[in-house]
Amino acid sequence: MIRYFFVTLLFLAVGVIAQQWIYGASVTPFGVPILIIPALFLCISCAQSYTNTLIFAVLAGFIWDADHTLTSFQLPFQLAENRDIATPDNLRFGYSIFLFGLTGFFIKFIQASLPIRGLFINTLLVALSFLLYLIMEATLFCFIQGSFPTNFSILLFITKTVGISSIIAPFCLYFLGLIWLKITPDERPLPADLTRVLSKKTRYES
């Protein structure tokens, strides 16, 4: 588990570097950004225990906030064509850690309740958790600024962002599953962990 944790940490570092390059283009041809770090964190949440999920939530959230506080990178809603949601100037550094933690534990809770752990199911969980994350962020911004949008443009923006960013989820989950099988082929996994993303069903014997 220790080796798998550090390999996953290196995987996150690669995702951070990739985010710097891709985010330089701001948006895709569809008018929405590709959010690699949040998507990668959610994939990692599928493959780690509750404790490690919390650790990665702190790391990924800190990096995500640092990108938008210390650099010129914009938050996703700042890239929307119709800016119905403004980014509050008094938003505290570290709020993403809280949101990452909530979505990470959400995906762990749902994952532990399902008997099927295939690649397709986990990809759907990542997309659903991603949608929850952006909705919570939009709600937080609206609550701080004291107004809520009355049209569906922001919901369409969120949906397209989730769809584009979740494209990398199956590849990340596949890679994390292969790394797990390579590093710990004989180790009994924890029930809450992603163990065999290639199999349609994972059973845990007592």
Note the pLDDT tens digit of each residue in 27-54.
566 677 788 899 999 999 988 888 999 9
> What confidence tier does 76 reach under pLDDT thresholds 50, 70, 90?
low
**Average per-residue pLDDT for the chain:** 76
Q: Tell me, what amino acid is at 13?
A: A
Domains present along the chain, CATH in parentheses: 2-183 (1.10.1760)
DSSP letter assigned to residue 188: P
Q: Tell me, what amino acid is at 23?
A: Y
Res. 55: pLDDT tops 80: yes
The pTM for the full model equals 0.79
- Is 5 buried (19+), middle (13-18) or exposed (0-12) by CB count in 10 A? middle
With contact defined as beta carbons under 8 Å apart, do 133 and 157 qualify? no
pLDDT (tens digit per residue) in 156-166: 888 888 888 88
DSSP letter assigned to residue 114: -
Which carries the bigger pLDDT value, residue 181 or residue 74? 181
Q: What is the pLDDT of residue 190?
A: 40
pLDDT (tens digit per residue) in 120-178: 888 899 999 999 998 888 888 777 777 676 667 778 888 888 888 889 899 998 888 88
Side-chain half-sphere of 75: how many Cα atoms within 13 Å?
21
